[in-house]
Amino acid sequence: MGLPHDRSHLLWTDVPTTRFIESIDRWTKTLMDDDPSWPMTPLDMRTVAKIIAKEPGILAGQPVLNYLFTKNCRNPNLKWNISEGDEFQVGDAILTIEADGDEILSVERTAMNLITRMSGIATKTSRWVKILDEVAIAATRKTLWGVLDKWAVHVGGGLTHRLSRADALMIKENDLALYPLILTEQISDATHIPDFCVVEVVSMEHALSVAGAWQNRLQKDGNTNLLTLLLDNLGPEGSCDVACRLETEGLRNGLVLEGSGGVRIDELHKWAYSKMDVVSSGALTMDSAPIDMTMLMEAGR
């Protein structure tokens, strides 16, 4: 089953999309403006700097650093020794930068913040992907750096989920509080969204009601749209119970089952057998430790 939670095509085709580039531009500008760095003495000479790993991980952030150095340095020469998404080990020289020394120093802290954080997210995501095996893992909209965090999840083998509220129709408790529709009207709205629609459910009864209404609507309209049921805070066991009940009642077809809420690494082995199609967690982007790296500069020449 293809999952709509993979929105990476909105960020990258053969090159970064306009949406991705605009996000990179906003975040790098904000970080540079918030932490301006000026050299103590002018270093208007070509200098070589290397970013070296101090612990193993998965590389994420290559297109972001390419943009950062190109925009802030005159004629930089960047040599990546490791490709985006590849593993690196302690002591590996990930990137060699040749540019004017003062310009490298002005970008140094922002570059290191970006590559260490994004690589940390990709590394954690990759570990979770391996534990969950055939169950996909997706990020949520709980991010610190928006699309940059989502890209790092993608690089680590996870799914981006929605990039913004406009990226998919999601019916949650706050949406219902502002726009109180009865269940049949919600489902009717959902059938007109062919790409990605999510309805949050919080109990067995709620899930059965939405799934039943969805099946009735599909039979009436004859379409083949998929509806994502987001099982919120039911845990791996509770989510599995819902999946089994849906199968027993003949309501499983046409549904993507997403488990979410309080997903922890020590329960991932349970989620792997939860009968979910995908598990989503904000922990990928909110709780990932940065990968330790350093930038070492050679004397100017």
pLDDT of 195 strictly over 80: no
Q: What pLDDT is recorded for position 191? A: 57
- The pTM for the full model equals 0.91
User: pLDDT tens for residues 220-274?
Assistant: 877 677 899 999 999 999 999 999 999 999 999 999 999 999 999 999 999 999 9
User: pLDDT tens for residues 20-52?
Assistant: 999 999 999 999 999 877 655 555 688 999 999
Q: Is residue 88 a contact partner of residue 136, using CB atoms and an 8 Å limit?
A: no
Angle between helices 18-34 and 146-155 (to 10 degrees): 120
| Structural domain spans, the chain | 10-123+289-297, 127-286
Class of domain 127-286: alpha beta
| CB < 8 Å & 24+ apart, contacts of 8-17 | 8/151, 8/154, 8/159, 8/160, 10/160, 10/163, 10/167, 11/147, 11/150, 11/151, 11/154, 11/160, 11/163, 12/151, 16/63
Q: What pLDDT is recorded for position 250? A: 96
Q: What percent of the chain has pLDDT over 70?
A: 88
Domain 10-123+289-297: which topology?
Aldehyde Oxidoreductase; domain 3 (3.90.1170)
Distance in angstroms (rounded) separating the CA atoms of residues 211 and 99: 59
